[in-house]
């Protein structure tokens, strides 16, 4: 998920582009927004649009556009070390993903 909330001011935003997330009725972008739930108006270059793609699809996109990227696991670890936020009964906490690492994905899940 790319929906983040500032712990200090409670501003809800997309971590990919910084655009505000808001409930439909509170959004003044268009009358249609009133029919939507929690949403944001991401620009076309926001990572939001890539979040659900499979790693193989993302690698193909990078290859097609001549973008260099790593596939080797630099540390040899078998668990993903990406930091993320996890929801708990007492609130959101910072944590490590810790999912199993797959081959040819640079040590990421």
Which residue blocks in 1-109 are alpha helix, DSSP H?
55-64
Is 1 a catalytic site residue? yes
Cβ distance 42 to 14 under 8 Å? yes
**The CA-based dihedral angle spanning residues 67, 16, 1, 81, taken in that order and rounded to the nearest 10 degrees:** 60
Catalytic residue among 1, 6, 14, 17: 1
Tokens 């499979």 -> residue: 54
Instruction: Say if residue 80 is exposed, middle or buried (CB neighbours under 10 Å; 0-12, 13-18, 19+).
Output: middle
Catalytic residues: 1
């Amino acid at each position: 998920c790319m929906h983040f909330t500032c712990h200090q001011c409670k501003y809800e935003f997309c971590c990919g582009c910084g655009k505000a997330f808001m409930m439909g009725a509170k959004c003044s972008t268009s009358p249609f927004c009133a029919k939507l739930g929690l949403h944001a108006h991401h620009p076309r270059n926001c990572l939001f649009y890539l979040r659900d793609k499979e790693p193989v699809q993302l690698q193909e996109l990078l290859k097609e556009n001549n973008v260099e990227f790593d596939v080797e696991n630099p540390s040899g670890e078998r668990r993903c070390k990406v930091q993320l936020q996890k929801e708990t009964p007492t609130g959101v906490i910072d944590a490590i993903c810790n999912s199993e690492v797959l081959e040819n994905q640079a040590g990421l899940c």
